[in-house]
Amino acid sequence: MTPDPWSRLRMATRARIGLGRCGDGLPTTALLDFQLAHARARDAVHTPFDPALVEAGLAGRPTIRVRSRAADRATYLQRPDLGRLLAAEDEGTLTAGPYDVAFVIADGLSATAVHAHAANTLNAVLERLPGWSVAPIVIVSQGRVAIGDPIGQRLGAAMVAVLIGERPGLTSADSLGVYLSWAPRPGLVDAERNCLSNIRPPDGLDYAAAAHKVAWLMSEARRLKLTGVGLKDDATPLLAGGA
């Protein structure tokens, strides 16, 4: 038997390296693995979003359900601009605070990620924000990151944090991201946000580590009154096993 020189390297990464070949194609095992990963990524994009599933994990915290202006999944995928806008009929459901922060949970491009990780991540963040005034949690169907801007503005929040399913990849169909924006309002650009991505234990960030970083960034954003390129992640790493 000939030793496989790639075997040790494959143990260090989930990337597809050293797959080998059979003739001019991939070996059957590698091909089937690729097709399974591709199917999981497609399923993550098209799985229907279930707000009730998210609400069940939020320990009874008050929530508000809204939708974007993308009427269905096909429209959402073809018209990203509509996913950034709050449906006109839902605008009146948001009452202004003032609040220190508004949390928005949106399906994004992976309802699978939101179902699996959003409630646990948000619960862990809220535990680290004693004394903060928090708006009712807004749960958005067919939402993009920027939909947090009009929602945060209507709620009178100083800051908005959007928890959203990220674009699936062939090794991560269930990755959750958190986007922070100070002084939310329509027209903000990505350079004015901070993003923490790849929340998906056990293969990505666990909930405690993610919450530690998010809470630190939120505290610094409130101190500096900004987010984006002017706010650097200098948080002390959470020690293994930290709560």
- pLDDT digit string, tens, across residues 207-240: 999 999 999 999 999 999 999 999 988 777 765 5
The upper half-sphere exposure of residue 175, i.e. CA atoms within 13 Å in the direction of its Cβ, equals: 17
Q: What value, to the nearest 5°, has the Cα angle with vertex 98 and ends 51 and 154?
A: 55
Phi, psi of 138 (to 5 degrees): -100, 125
Is pLDDT above 70 for 105?
Answer: yes
pLDDT at 239: 58
What pLDDT is recorded for position 131?
94
Between residues 6 and 137, which one has the greater pLDDT?
137
The string of pLDDT tens digits covering residues 143-154 is 999 999 999 999
Mean pLDDT, to the nearest integer, of 129-139? 96
Between 100 and 4, the higher pLDDT residue: 100
Q: What is the pLDDT of residues 16-31, one digit of tens each?
A: 888 888 888 888 888 8
Q: Where are the domains of the chain?
A: 51-224
Strands (E) across the chain are located at 63-67, 102-106, 137-141, 159-165, 176-182, 193-199
- Give the angle 220-224-229 at the CA atoms, nearest 5°: 80
pTM reported for the whole predicted model:
0.88
- Which distant-in-sequence residues (6+ apart) come within 8 Å of 181 by Cβ? 148, 149, 152, 159, 160, 162, 188, 192, 193, 227
Confidence of residue 80 (pLDDT cuts 50, 70, 90): very high
171 vs 58, higher pLDDT: 58
Measure the CA–CA gap between 61 and 133, rounded to whole angstroms: 13
Q: pLDDT band for 155, please (50, 70, 90 cuts).
A: very high
CATH of 51-224, one of 2.60.40.10, 3.40.50.11240, 2.60.40.2380, 3.40.50.10320: 3.40.50.11240
